[in-house]
C-alpha cells in the first residue's frame, strides 16, 4: 500500500540524472548498489518493452537520485572508498 504523505513529499523533491546507460542490467546493478547504501533511486527508460529498440534516446536508461544525494551517489558509482 502506498503511503499518501510519502508520495506527495516525493513529488516535491528535485531529482537529478547521475548516470545514463543503454544496458538495463547495468542500470539495475547500479540501482541495487545505491539502494544498499540507503540512497533512493528512480530508473527511467523510454524503451517500449515488447520491442527491442536501442536506437538513440529510445535506448537510454537513466538513473536519478534526489539532488541532496547526488554527490554521495556519484562517489558510490565511482567506487570511492569513503562513500
Q: Is the pTM of this model over 0.85?
A: no
The whole domain housing 52 covers 4-78
Provide the CATH number for the domain around residue 26: 3.30.70.790
Distance of CA 47 to the CA centre of its chain: 15
> What mean pLDDT do residues 5-25 have?
79
3-state secondary structure 8-21: HHHHCCCEEEEEEE
Residue 72 pLDDT grade (very low, low, confident, very high; cuts 50, 70, 90): very high
Helix/strand/coil for 24: helix
Split into its structural domains, the chain has a count of: 1
**Lowest-confidence region among 10-14, 19-23, 31-35, 66-70:** 10-14
Distance of CA 60 to the CA centre of its chain: 12
- Residue 77's nearest CA partner among 57, 59, 63 is 63
Query: What pLDDT, in 10s, does the model give residues 23-53?
Result: 889 999 999 999 999 999 999 987 666 666 6
Amino acid at each position: 500500500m502506498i503511503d499518501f504523505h510519502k508520495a506527495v513529499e516525493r513529488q516535491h523533491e528535485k531529482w537529478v540524472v547521475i548516470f545514463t546507460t543503454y544496458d538495463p542490467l547495468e542500470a539495475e546493478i547500479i540501482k541495487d548498489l545505491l539502494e544498499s547504501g540507503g540512497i533512493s533511486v528512480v530508473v527511467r527508460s523510454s524503451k517500449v518493452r515488447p520491442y527491442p529498440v536501442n536506437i538513440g534516446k529510445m535506448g537510454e536508461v537513466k538513473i536519478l537520485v534526489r539532488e541532496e544525494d547526488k554527490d554521495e551517489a556519484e562517489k558510490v558509482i565511482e567506487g570511492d572508498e569513503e562513500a
